[in-house]
Structure 1
């Protein structure tokens, strides 16, 4: 709950972080582009020319240049030095991830893209008091404390995040404690995710999929239609953009809240939880991508994994191949099913149930005996219910 003066300082800090990011990214991109062209095949229009003895502008070189630039640009002195250094560290991480994880080339940021900055050190003085926190240059800020800081934990970092609904502070805590991994034990539950039923459990429960986007889709369409008529850069367009952003955040918050409540309800009577190992980003690029993104399967699996760890429930992922083609009772391969086939009926043993429930039971059986083994092991159809 910052004051108007603190809001001005936060926006000023975000603006300077954006300028530092763009300048440092341009410096790196110019250096890379100057090394791409062969000396005998230069462009006849223009070319990036940087001396051959110029070293690559990594984090250390750019951090040193940032210190020297403060003499030429006094505006840089108005922001905490470590905040700007963290921007350069983030850029360094982006270039490392580009090679290590195969991610794309970092992009330049406009005023809407830079939404947070971090204070890596808060000092040794008292900076927490009830529902107030003291941050460099911002002073004491009041905030809504979502939960009490546990005993024995130290606050190491604070990140200020600007969202459509306001400003948030994220505190990073540290504690010298070893948390053991959850061991497989207790009652196993398999989960099958889908668009027809959001979750089907191996116990036979079918949970419908809420349409988070559809509930506010008409209002969102009207606002985006008005946005086309606004002049770019105008204050009315900026106000309408904020209104659209608040609506998107409302949809996202509703989805996330439902995911957390569902994850906790599934962990009530379970000792082990198994889901399919699926990359939902592939399906999000197809013709059902809008519905897959609205359901948020990837977010739900991540939340479920965290809730299982918090509540002491063993969590593991299962090979997704053939889970809908095998009978959970007799392990008979019944062949590929069409999407319209919603009932599993085994021609061998006559077992009949909902298709998604059968898949969830196969998921449970496939890893029940293999729980605790290395992920991706070939124990696909082994069962431990006493019938095998």
Structure 2
């Protein structure tokens, strides 16, 4: 479905003039990306309830029946339709509902989706950064705690930087796909400080996108996957196989919604720290320019016990004195085992006493029972 565009982005086939259409209803084996994230394992801990995820890019087709009634929010500035198709693909990864018609499901089905379109539907590649900044501000005004930039812009702007700063001051998490396919190119706000920039991997764990740098935070599945399709006409419908950087960013945004629901006291920056600290590290163990700090580990991100103030990977922190390690108390001995325990303890005492007698006797014989000069 997704092909490279002359703008250096991963673009949609709909950019050539026709609206996106479903491949059908997916009933095959669970895709490798969904198996890796394993959302069902997380749902006893968090389903993303109470979270609003803004899907910013091309809109979302709210008529796909794998979105629950009322899950795709309407109102001023929203775009509940999606000719391009990329927004609907990203939205499904974030929060598509379980359905008996398909093996595909979203990461955080308890979350609400706020669909925002900033791109010209007839254009390919990334759109205007000023329009993207306006969409981000709309998302913040509507209470979104996670801003998913499914289709980033081709250039930066002061307005876009200001929107990122405002999001951080509001405690929101901005997740943006690394979408550039030309060597040395960057996307925005992906490359802006304070944004969780996400790279894409294939099933072997290799990076898919060309874009890279020290600003990459995480990687997630982004190639040969399944998700919801625009143009569903009220049915449960999908596109597959899909390769799109928006998929990887959507997986991370879904996990961010789970973390926010499970740990509501965390700030946006603390959520990002938790996601990067718990990631499955690259083979080198160090930061990778196209994989960031590793592939998202959804279960570890939600379930790990971490101090809210813990520093992120690679941060320079002053050394601190470590507390003394106090061994855990031994488990109490059951009453029925007390006689045996007493006998065992008595045996140890007798053995120690016997050893002491033998040692004393041997020392006395060596010295002809005379005291040493040191009185021992």
- Please indicate the TM-score interval, normalised by the length of the shorter structure: under 0.3
Normalising by the residue count of structure 2, what TM-score does the alignment of the two structures yield? 0.22
Instruction: Name the one with the larger helix percent.
Output: 1
Structure scoring higher RCO (CA < 8 A, sep ≥ 6) equals 2
